[in-house]
Amino acid sequence: MIRWANMNAIILSTGTELTTGQCVDTNSAWLSAALGRFGVRVIRHVTVGDDIQDIRQAMGEALDSTDLVVATGGLGPTADDLTRDALAEAIEQPLEENAEALGQIRAIFERWQRPWHEANRVQAMIPRGCTVIPNPRGTAPGIWYHTASTDLFVLPGVPAEMRAMFAAAVVPVVEKRCGGARTERARLPCFGISEAKLGELIQDLMVRGRNPLVGTTASGGVISVRLVAWGKDEAEAKRLLADDISEVRRRLGSVVFGERDDTLEGVVGQMLLERHLTIATAESCTGGLLAKRLTDVPGSSAYFLRGYVTYANEAKSELLGVPPELIMSKGAVSEEVAAAMATGCRAAAGSDLGVGITGIAGPTGGQPPEKPVGLVYIALADSGGVEVKRILFGEHLVRSEIRDRACKTALNLIRLRL
């Protein structure tokens, strides 16, 4: 059974730009992952706008209900930076100008060779009884409020400043209170299987309360198996995680294409490099998207030779040698034309592999039931011949989704061939 360290946390983000959707709150996700590394259970994310009463209430409720609070934002020098005032009200202590904080702020201005602005003096106002957290990257000192039962850290909203101060001030406190407990996390991205089928294969590993905790998420056709292991120390957590990773890989086989942040194009690129193989692409409905994905990978010039965007039928014939009569008899969206595109671009580029994609990305152009929107043919040619895959992605997907899935399916076809 998965256990957490005897420490729960609430993450509080402040800023009207967050509550109105003008900015995305990336700090909370980062903090959750960072705290989870020590076995801290984040029970809630709270986001409030730049209103002193809302911030005060959120802080008060968090202090009353958890062991650790990490708040970000609202420590700047402007009128809408209200977090320090709200904290003072929440803990019922007056704000006082802190000489240490003021010295740090002035030192930053001197180091940056910028003129002093009196407005920045407000950033040195710290509630009585709190500890100043130095900010080596900016002018906003952090604040640490400590009681017998709770620690509250207020950090700047600027991600680079927040992360540096978290490592310096928050981590030592968390490590001491958690007693060495650790969690280890892994992600196994999969392609070419439905989420339901994958779930059946690892159903017993996904029992709630199990250690490691195993779950799945789906995005753009990629199904990710996510694992979280808890241990009394780092070694135990890593051992438990490794055992489950091996078991998931054994059950799922080749549908697992990597770990962590691996992408299909990255994995395929590495395989092409290791095998000293080259590739060329011929695309119709994807409009060069597959070539882009392949060349997004650094070092792709070692294996990617050429990409053809043959949207018009004439281009398929002129650039790839696809016979016009084949297009007339079978249609541009057909198994035969996809195969001819793959072999044609391979011959024209002189590459080891050639990929051809033709289909109907919509929203118009479909001819159901034989050729509905979402029908795509993908062909892969090499010295041993050509393989063609027919896929119906479905009319429920929009144009960009069909093109995206077609590229991923092509990349997966290449991966499995290699």
Clarify whether residues 34 and 164 are in a common domain.
Answer: yes
Length of the chain: 418
pLDDT of residue 411: 98
What is the extent of the structural domain holding 163? 8-178
pLDDT of residue 179: 82
Whole-angstrom distance, CA of residue 27 vs CA of residue 164: 12
Q: Return all residues near 29 (Cβ < 8 A) that are at least 6 apart.
A: none
Whole-angstrom distance, CA of residue 78 vs CA of residue 270: 49
pLDDT of residue 3: 52
Token pair of 273 as six digits: 């490099």
pLDDT of residue 178: 85
CATH number of the CATH domain containing 91: 3.40.980.10
2 belongs to a structural domain: no
Clarify whether residues 288 and 368 are in a common domain.
Answer: yes
pLDDT of residue 5: 56
Q: What is the pTM of this model?
A: 0.80
Domain count, the chain: 3
pLDDT of residue 202: 98
Which amino acid, 245?
Answer: I
Last residue of a domain, one of 158, 178, 198: 178
Clarify whether residues 268 and 153 are in a common domain.
Answer: no
Pick from 210, 275, 303, 295: which is nearest to 248 by CA?
Answer: 210
pLDDT of residue 209: 85
Q: How many CB atoms lie within 10 A of CB 255?
A: 20
Clarify whether residues 152 and 205 are in a common domain.
Answer: no
The CA distances from residue 113 to 45, 108, 110, 161, in Å, are 38, 8, 5, 19
Q: Return all residues near 391 (Cβ < 8 A) that are at least 6 apart.
A: 375, 376, 377, 378, 405, 406, 409
Residues in the chain with pLDDT < 70? 1-6
Clarify whether residues 250 and 270 are in a common domain.
Answer: no
Clarify whether residues 118 and 20 are in a common domain.
Answer: yes
Whole-angstrom distance, CA of residue 282 vs CA of residue 333: 13
Last residue of a domain, one of 255, 279, 296: 255
223 DSSP β-pair partners:
190, 218
Whole-angstrom distance, CA of residue 57 vs CA of residue 71: 13
Clarify whether residues 88 and 107 are in a common domain.
Answer: yes
Clarify whether residues 159 and 271 are in a common domain.
Answer: no
pLDDT of residue 181: 82
Last residue of a domain, one of 148, 178, 208: 178
Q: Strand pairing of 68-72 and 385-392?
A: unpaired
Residue-wise burial string across 377-398, b where 16 or more C-beta atoms lie within 10 A, e elsewhere: bbbbbbeeebebeebebebebe
| Residue 281 phi, psi dihedral angles, 5° rounding | -130, 150
Clarify whether residues 158 and 193 are in a common domain.
Answer: no
80 belongs to a structural domain: yes
H or E stretch including 412? helix 399-417
Clarify whether residues 19 and 158 are in a common domain.
Answer: yes
